[in-house]
Structure 1
Amino acid sequence: MTLPFVRSLLHDRFLHLLVLTGVLLSVWQPFHPAAWLTAIDWHTIVTLSGLMLLTKGVELSGYFDVVGRKMVRRFVTERQLALFLLLAAALLSTFLTNDVALFIVVPLTITLKKWCAIPINRLIIFEALAVNAGSLLTPIGNPQNILLWGRSGLSFTAFSWQMAPLALAMVLTLVALCWLCFPAKALHYQSADRTPPWQPKLVGCCLAFYLIFLLALELRLELWGLALLVAGFLALERKVVFSVDWTLLLVFMAMFIDVYLLTRLSLLQTLLGGIGQYGDVRLWLTAIGLSQVISNVPSTILLLNYVSPSLLLAWAVNVGGFGLLPGSLANLIALRMANDRRIWWRFHLYSLPMLLWAATVGYLLLVCLR
């Protein structure tokens, strides 16, 4: 069971880059390993762990595959199918995180090639944009929201309510764009496909576990909630625990440590020292721009060292997930699963205009709400 983990550890180039970055930063700014534990936001790590377990449980049950195949067969046109997949990706990302939603929707999309001729790459691009838009709604929709929620002290409902205007605007924008980019061309299915078996008991337990874990998060008892999930899956279906990509947690831990080391550099402290006095426009553009370079999760970690977890910051780092490929790890995950080189540059034909639109509309909404 440990072999897949070791193999993933050896082949995770992004993790290797983060570790190397930490080593290089330690040369200029020594950071004692004993203090690493305090640099990691454990609320974020524990929350991600629980969500990854729950998602893997549903995935191994076969339930999403069954529902997806049945519903896809009901659509008549390419536009209907595209709208369904876009909205499904956005909805799933609100409670399973954007990265995890892609692990469900993108593989299903790729299997559609067996049934009918559709633009797979364009669908995957829209799904990547959709999870960035949908996930910004809830505290557990993406890693940066998990972090901001933990620092803000807001309840689950209060946090979601403040994010709702931007989330609604972005999802409606994508629906309109999807309507224009996918024609109402009839779908011609090439072959039939039997519905695969699934495990209703495992699905039911995953739903119960999810509600319990959500309650544990609300009560700030996330560690107990995670322990219950692990114990439950070990008793019910231990394959769930051993199938989770635990190296993803190491990636986020390394991010926390790297950003901590980065903030200790005297040069960066000089550059960002006055960020707390930035006006709204300057802070808005700084958070979005920084996300384009180092991704929105590290940007959130870095900026929270200088500014409070305000509504402006929450909106800005989520808007920063659009645009360039590094803006969100969800972008990288989606395009890597597509396994087609052409999708890497085509993605920016949609994502860059989406960034400009989101930055403009988001700031105008922010001004109106104040």
Structure 2
Amino acid sequence: MKRIFSFFMHDLLFSISFLIALISCFFGTFSIESIDFKVIVCLFGLMLLVANIEKLGVLTYLAEKLIDLSTTTRALIRNITLLAFFSSMLLTNDVAILSLMPIYLTITKKVSDMGHKMTGAVLLIIAANLGSSFFPFGNPQNLFLFSYYSLTVGTFFSWASLLLLVSFSFLFLSFFWIKKTPIPNQEEPLPSIDQRKTSYLSLIGLVILVGVFDLFPYYIVIPIAVLLLSMYDFSSLKQVDYRLLATFIFFFIAVGNFSQLETISLLIKKQFTTSSATFFGSIAASQLISNVPAAILLAPFTTQTQALFFGVNIGGLGTIIASLANLIGFKIYKQYYPNQGKRFLLTFSLINLIFLLGFIVVFYFTL
């Protein structure tokens, strides 16, 4: 019993999502179709790839290079945040966080007295969420909305460009709150990297991205990539965060079950008739079930497309579950700093709340 108790108490987010999924089964009929297997399979492949890259020393090398290019902590956090912001447009928010968060946290361990390290980690997550909204394929909710409402390219980018401009402005202003603490010069030479192994892992990374971007069926290319990575280093399978994958599955199950409730369907139909109601409602729903399920749940019941677009994208800010990418960033941070989970959640919630309120004020008057 002690082992079981310890297992569930070790990761409260996993335990809570499991409990919610169980409760939801009393309100709806479980369907395997509720689970987005593409998200789960692609995330597993990406986590396994990052684990192998980390063991090879590539992250340490990139961290050293980024330190050399940054003279102060403000410059360092600005560089990694903007890199997350722009790279997520093409790589998606999940991939950007999986790739860049380990690099950033490796830097924080190498730089003595690294100030604002939590703030930097939170800004990286926020930047990845906001930047990924610029292209339809940057995150799942926009890809769904683009397809469901048959949006024209011009319409989508007119909304996305406004979101991008405001996002960049808010991020740029946030850097001024970070002190310009000088970063000491790194006297150690850059670590050597096995070029052959790096090339091998890079090719596998391209194979995984082919599946992520639907250039080839993910259920074919991702298992091939996983097999190749397992053959390269079988022990890396132990480094995958299987609880995070299970947490995602539990959330998908819960949303699928609760969405079957007729009372919820009637409530959405009745309330989501105006742009302001849809805007605030989608933000609120995102805080509880995350923005991707919120978009899928609400789209059939409202014609306020622009309000829903802004609501679910802005709704990725806020709680730790407002975007599933937030969970990824949180879990990675806990791997590097296991005893700072509560402090990180407080810092994350405070900064996200400030951003969320700022976005609400700006976009409420654009509807």
State the AA in 2 paired with 1:110: T
Whether 2:170 is the aligned partner of 1:173: answer yes
Unaligned runs of 5+ residues in structure 2 are: 1-5
Q: 1 CA distance for matches of 2:282 and 2:163?
A: 16
- How many residues align structurally? 352
Check conservation: 2:40, 2:248, Cα contact below 8 A.
yes
Q: 2 CA distance for matches of 1:27 and 1:137?
A: 39
Q: 2 CA distance for matches of 1:201 and 1:158?
A: 45
Whether 2:255 is the aligned partner of 1:253: answer no
Q: Percent identity?
A: 24
- For 1:299, the equivalent position in structure 2 comes to 294
Following superposition, the deviation at residue 224 of structure 1 comes to: 1.4
Which of 120, 129, 132 lines up with 2:129 in the alignment?
A: 132
Following superposition, the deviation at residue 44 of structure 1 comes to: 3.0
Distance 1:332 1:43, change over 3 A: closer
Check conservation: 2:287, 2:319, Cα contact below 8 A.
yes
Residues 70-121 of structure 1: per-residue CA shift (max 9 Å, x gap): 220332233222211222333454416344246424422431443x543323
- For 2:105, the equivalent position in structure 1 comes to 107
State the AA in 2 paired with 1:104: P
Q: How does 1:155-166 map to 2 (within 5 A)?
A: 163-166=160-163
Q: How does 1:313-332 map to 2 (within 5 A)?
A: 313-331=308-326
- For 1:122, the equivalent position in structure 2 comes to 119
Distance 1:119 1:19, change over 3 A: closer
Residues 278-327 of structure 1: per-residue CA shift (max 9 Å, x gap): 22222111111222233324423432454589564343212112234443
- For 1:85, the equivalent position in structure 2 comes to 80
- Three-state SS of the structure 2 residue aligned to 1:327 is coil
Following superposition, the deviation at residue 143 of structure 1 comes to: 5.3
- Three-state SS of the structure 1 residue aligned to 2:79 is helix
Whether 2:219 is the aligned partner of 1:223: answer yes
Distance 1:325 1:230, change over 3 A: closer
- For 1:358, the equivalent position in structure 2 comes to 359
Whether 2:71 is the aligned partner of 1:76: answer yes
Following superposition, the deviation at residue 256 of structure 1 comes to: 1.6
Whether 2:44 is the aligned partner of 1:49: answer yes
Distance 1:170 1:272, change over 3 A: same
State the AA in 2 paired with 1:81: L
- Three-state SS of the structure 2 residue aligned to 1:274 is helix
- For 2:3, the equivalent position in structure 1 comes to none
Following superposition, the deviation at residue 15 of structure 1 comes to: 2.8
Indicate the RMSD between aligned Cα atoms, in angstroms: 3.7
Q: 2 CA distance for matches of 1:151 and 1:63?
A: 40
Check conservation: 1:15, 1:250, Cα contact below 8 A.
yes
State the AA in 2 paired with 1:229: A
- Three-state SS of the structure 1 residue aligned to 2:171 is helix
- Three-state SS of the structure 2 residue aligned to 1:137 is coil
Which of 265, 271, 276 lines up with 1:269 in the alignment?
A: 265
- For 2:20, the equivalent position in structure 1 comes to 21
Q: 2 CA distance for matches of 1:54 and 1:266?
A: 42
Check conservation: 1:53, 1:241, Cα contact below 8 A.
yes
Following superposition, the deviation at residue 11 of structure 1 comes to: 4.1
Residues 151-187 of structure 1: per-residue CA shift (max 9 Å, x gap): 6789999988964542343133202321x21244433
Check conservation: 2:317, 2:355, Cα contact below 8 A.
yes
- Three-state SS of the structure 2 residue aligned to 1:64 is helix
Unaligned runs of 5+ residues in structure 1 are: 1-6
- Three-state SS of the structure 2 residue aligned to 1:278 is coil
